């Protein structure tokens, strides 16, 4: 993806999950992804491409095989998805990416800034 990807999320966990699984399976770094609420009429950020197409059935199959996350993350993500702050989608993706590509035990690190933020949103 040149420049970045803008992902429209229909304000629910299932929508975010479908997009995030395809992105993380392809190794798309969180720094090049912008999540926005579907129907958000604000303009896109300069330098970012058009909305990325939804994950295909093929992407979902790859993602299902390639991505294994702790149950704790899945449960946490479903709760945080209900939070009203629109940054929740980017935060959840960043944590997902880090769990899959950097540290499977990330959620055990209470001193990590992202872990603290999702814990606050969980409440």
Task: Give per-residue pLDDT as tens, 41-89.
Answer: 444 333 333 334 445 555 555 555 567 899 999 999 999 999 989 899 9
Three-class HEC string of 59-97: HHHHHHHHCCCCHHHHHHHHHHCCCCCCCHHHHHHHHHH
Question: What does the mean pLDDT of the chain come to?
Answer: 80
Chain position carrying tokens 């993706």: 93
Sorted by where each begins, the domain ranges of the chain are: 5-122
Is pLDDT above 50 for 92?
A: yes
**Alpha carbon distance 16, 47 (integer Å):** 22
The pTM (predicted TM-score) of the whole model is 0.77
**Alpha carbon distance 7, 50 (integer Å):** 9
* Residues sharing a CB contact under 8 Å with residue 123, sequence separation 6 or more, in sequence order: none
pLDDT at residue 40, as a whole number: 52
pLDDT at residue 75, as a whole number: 95
Calculate mean pLDDT across residues 84-102. 94
For residue 22, give the nearest of 63, 65, 67 by alpha carbon: 63
Is pLDDT above 80 for 108?
A: yes
**Alpha carbon distance 105, 23 (integer Å):** 20
Q: Tokens for 35?
A: 């999540």
Burial of 53 (0-12, 13-18, 19+ CB in 10 A): exposed
38 and 11 Cβ atoms separated by less than 8 Å: yes
Between 92 and 5, residue with greater pLDDT: 92
């Amino acid at each position: 993806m040149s420049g970045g990807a803008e992902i429209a999320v229909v304000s629910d966990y299932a929508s975010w999950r479908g997009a995030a699984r395809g992105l993380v399976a392809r190794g798309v770094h969180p720094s090049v992804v912008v999540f926005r609420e579907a129907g958000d009429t604000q303009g896109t950020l300069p330098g970012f491409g058009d909305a990325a197409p939804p994950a295909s059935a093929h992407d979902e199959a790859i993602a299902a095989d390639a991505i294994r996350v702790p149950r704790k993350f899945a449960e946490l993500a479903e709760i945080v998805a209900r939070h009203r702050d629109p940054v929740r989608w980017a935060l959840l993706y960043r944590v997902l990416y880090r769990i899959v590509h950097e540290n499977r035990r990330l959620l055990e690190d209470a001193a990590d800034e992202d872990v603290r933020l999702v814990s606050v949103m969980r409440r």
